[in-house]
Amino acid sequence: MSKPTLPVQLTVFCAIDVSAASLAVAIHQDDQQCEQRVFNNNHSGHKALISWLRKRKAIVRVSMEATGIYSMDLAMAVDKADGIEVAVLNPKMVHHFARTLRRSKTDSADAQSLAEYSRRMPFTPWYAPTLNSLQLRTISRHLLGLTAEYIRQNNRLHAAGKSAATPSCIVSDLKLSMASLKRRILRFRREARDLVRSDETIRKHFDLLISIPGIAEISAVQLLGELSSLSPEMSVRQWVAHSGLDPVHQVSGTSVNKPSRMSKAGNRYLRRALHMPALVAVRHDPHLKAFYETLLNRHKAKLQAIVAIARKLLHAIYGVLHSQTPYDGCKLFPALLPAIISG
């Protein structure tokens, strides 16, 4: 739930350059000179920063770059503070803006550039996800790392078995490592299931997701981990852009006309979570299969067609979660319905 807007003149713009250990803070207030301070990036440092910001006689608009785990606790703490609004910005946008202002790169200079960006650009308040959403995202990403490590160890075991020079102790150790990884994977899958069951909203979304062809329990956990922390006010186009599945066109005059490509300027975990469901869906859902074959008939490469299927799946997920109704392929592909029936 968003905080109520207070009837105070918005004149203070605060920017925070976040690092693992410290917070470089810069403040612009009306036409006054930029004021800067440094705080520790820990619980006590967050409290000191919020107390310092509250001394202002106006609502403070705080901007920071998305720096993963180092900025999350700070963003949550600032978002809960009365009279303070927070925006978490895409680092690429801030970086390109900062290049037009200065050449030097220091924490102090970055904070000043960020403050100037906040003062000039439209301010979009950050949506604070629930604790369960953040925990599910952390578990799903940890599971992804464990699974990748299991695959690497399995490849090493396969290669070791092909050489007579590999001692048996190495083979034994690789098997022990894989067994340990498998137990840990199963354990965190149980943790994810328990977390889904404990939260009514996430559980309803989970049930809706597995109604979509190609999405089973493991994929649903990965997708929910990335999607449940997004703002409910985002549009489906913003979801696609956030995933990096949006197409990039390069056309200029008569000399530049490059083929469109996937931007990949987004959440790689979400893109990865959509890939396997897309591969499965084209085999088991008649609507997605017909769309896939239509793309191939237009001479699209198979990989391009799979990316388009993943993008359509994201549209379907957005639809079922926002309408709270199970998947219906006829609504997603109404134009293909005659071809599906005749096929």
Residues contacting residue 217 through CB under 8 Å, at least 6 positions apart: 193, 210
Q: How confident is the model at residue 123 (pLDDT cuts 50, 70, 90)?
A: confident
Q: Which residue has the higher pLDDT, 31 or 201?
A: 201
Candidate from 111-115, 174-178, 262-266, 337-341 with smallest mean pLDDT: 337-341
Model's pTM, two decimal places?
0.84
CA torsion sign for 207, 243, 213, 190 is negative
Q: How confident is the model at residue 341 (pLDDT cuts 50, 70, 90)?
A: very low
* Residue type at position 218: I
Nearest alpha-carbon partner for 218 in 194, 192, 239, 243:
192
Q: Looking at the domain 12-120, which fold is it?
A: Nucleotidyltransferase; domain 5 (3.30.420)
The proportion of the chain whose per-residue pLDDT surpasses 70, expressed as a percent, equals 92
Distance CA 142, CA 132 (A): 15
Q: Which residue has the higher pLDDT, 252 or 274?
A: 274
Distance CA 115, CA 248 (A): 30
Distance CA 87, CA 66 (A): 9
Mean pLDDT of the chain: 88
Average pLDDT over residues 284-308: 92
Where exactly are the structural domains of the chain? 12-120, 131-198, 236-251+262-342
Residues contacting residue 80 through CB under 8 Å, at least 6 positions apart: 128
Q: Secondary structure of 239-294 in the HEC alphabet?
A: HHHHHCCCEEEEEECCCEEEEEEECCCCCHHHHHHHHHHHHHHHHHCHHHHHHHHH
